[in-house]
Amino acid sequence: MNKPNFIFIMTDTQGSNVVGCYGNKNLSTPNIDKLVQNGIKFENAYTSCPVCTPARAAIFTGIYPSKTGAFTNNLSITNDIKTMGERFSDKGYKTAYTGKWHLDGHDYFGTGKCPNGWDPDYWYDGKNYLDDLSDEDIKLWRSGLSTIEDLKKNNIKKEFTWAHKISDKGIKFLNNEKNKPFLLVLSYDEPHHPSTCPPEFAEKFKEYRYDISSSGEDNFNNKPKQHLERAKCGDNFDKENKYTNNPLYFGANSFVDMEIGRIIDEVDNLSMENTYIIFTSDHGTMLGAHRMNEKGSVMYEEITHIPLFIREPEGGNTNKIITTPVNHVDILPTMLEYAGLKKVPILDGESLIPFINGIESNNKCSIIEFTRHTIAHDGHGGFQPTRCIVKNNFKLVINLLDTDELYNLKNDPTEMDNLINNKKYIYISSSD
């Protein structure tokens, strides 16, 4: 049997709550949504850590970030751990990565140097993108495009964006390497800040109000003290807030979907048989829920619950929904099994193929980590390890130096009622 091909697509700061087929029909993500019509949707997929670098460490190693060395932003994976690229290139695959990396121990943009396991001809991290811009354009992209009017005034076109250049690299790879067994990763920065997109995408969401529901009234009674502190540091401390208006974020969310559509269309146009398409995101963003912005040391659904899809080759599963809780660390073991490659013992995750094939288990859970305590995003802070387990409609959060949390996600989807001191839940049976 020929080796299968893999196209791994990911976005940054795109929770399941801003993807149409997860329930928010007001947002435009038609290309991502098609992946469930033609594939498998994981209804309860979770990040390994709701911050960029640790989440990416888990995705590309299959190992939890506390064990990879990359437990917070701008730390590198230890040299003795192989990445997805190395595991597949070692087995004869042509492997290419284009887009945000954030795993080299440098800054957000990276070093511009291709790490082991990937083809340098297609490498295109943030440093490479910045190198293609003029000094004026760099300043503009990083701090001068904060409104729709800025986008219009500066005549921002799709060709200016990192997302479009990533897609161009990916399409070039597909055309050049289509006859080889390959792994192609496309890692989009969007809709992460600065959420750059052509103005017509943002314009569609100029009046859009993202409903933050009752969580905007959270008084944080019986919750960790740092939750209240995070709320005070954000822009949403006013308990009267019921919605968030952010046209650039939602516009970029729609724009990156269009760019993802370019890749999917190219795969279909090239009639690539035996090709798997996998899509996910590293984490979400609070968008004003619980009066917080950004992401960080909380475990609310807005930043931990992520989209995850697999489109199998023609003849595979279509329109299938898996409700078992799954995690970033499960992705690499799943890809290895699809490829007929052996899972190595160091990997923390497990293959999702048994669940895809219909096996149900009440014992499968998803574990989420956070190691460095911070109030505002992941700036300066201290050591406060947090561990979270999602299982059987419950979410248990252990905060080593603060109040623990327990939520019934079925009865309390907005996570307002902390049940940690409720005697009824001292023991949760597997049948709950």
With beta carbons less than 8 A apart as the criterion, state whether 11 and 288 touch. Answer: no
| Structure tokens that stand for 388 in this block | 């979270």
With beta carbons less than 8 A apart as the criterion, state whether 125 and 110 touch. Answer: yes
DSSP string covering 57-93: HHHHHSS-HHHHS--STT-BPPTTS--HHHHHHTTT-
Q: How many CB atoms lie within 10 A of CB 107?
A: 12
With beta carbons less than 8 A apart as the criterion, state whether 129 and 113 touch. Answer: no
What is d(CA 82, CA 346) in angstroms, rounded to the nearest whole number?
Answer: 10
Per-residue pLDDT at 376: 56
What is the second-level CATH architecture of the domain 5-359? Answer: 3-Layer(aba) Sandwich (3.40)
User: Hey, what's the torsion of the CAs at 131, 158, 192, 218, to 10 degrees?
Assistant: 160
User: Which residue has 């009752």 as its token pair?
Assistant: 214
| Structure tokens that stand for 85 in this block | 């690229």
Closest Cα partner for 247 from 17, 84, 28, 4? 28
For strand 94-99 and strand 182-191, is the pairing parallel, antiparallel, or unpaired? parallel
User: Which residue has 């890809």 as its token pair?
Assistant: 335
Please report, for the chain, the start and end positions of each structural domain, with discontinuous segments joined by +: 5-359
DSSP string covering 266-311: HHHHTT-TTEEEEEEES----TTGGG--S-SS---HHHHEE-EEEE
Active site residues: 52, 102
| Tens-digit pLDDT string for the chain (432 aa) | 589 999 999 999 999 999 999 988 889 899 999 998 899 999 999 999 999 999 999 999 999 999 998 788 877 788 889 999 999 999 999 999 999 998 887 888 888 899 999 999 999 999 999 999 999 999 999 889 999 999 999 999 999 999 999 999 999 999 999 889 999 999 999 999 999 999 999 999 999 999 988 898 899 999 998 888 888 876 555 566 788 899 999 999 999 999 999 999 999 999 888 999 999 999 999 999 998 888 888 999 999 999 999 999 988 999 999 999 999 999 999 999 999 998 899 999 999 999 999 887 778 999 999 987 565 555 555 677 899 999 989 999 999 888 999 999 999 999 999 999 998 886 554 444
Helices 247-269, 30-37: inter-axial angle, 10-degree rounding: 50
Per-residue pLDDT at 302: 96
Please, is 260 exposed, middle or buried when counting C-beta atoms within 10 Å of its C-beta (0-12, 13-18, 19+)? buried
What is d(CA 253, CA 371) in angstroms, rounded to the nearest whole number?
Answer: 28
Residues with Cβ within 8 Å of residue 178, at least 6 apart in sequence: 270, 272
What is d(CA 2, CA 330) in angstroms, rounded to the nearest whole number?
Answer: 24
Q: Which residues of 55-83 are buried (b: 16+ CB within 10 A; e: fewer)?
A: bbbbbbbbbbbbbbbbbbbebbbeeebbb
Q: Is 162 helix (H, G, I), strand (E, B) or coil?
A: helix
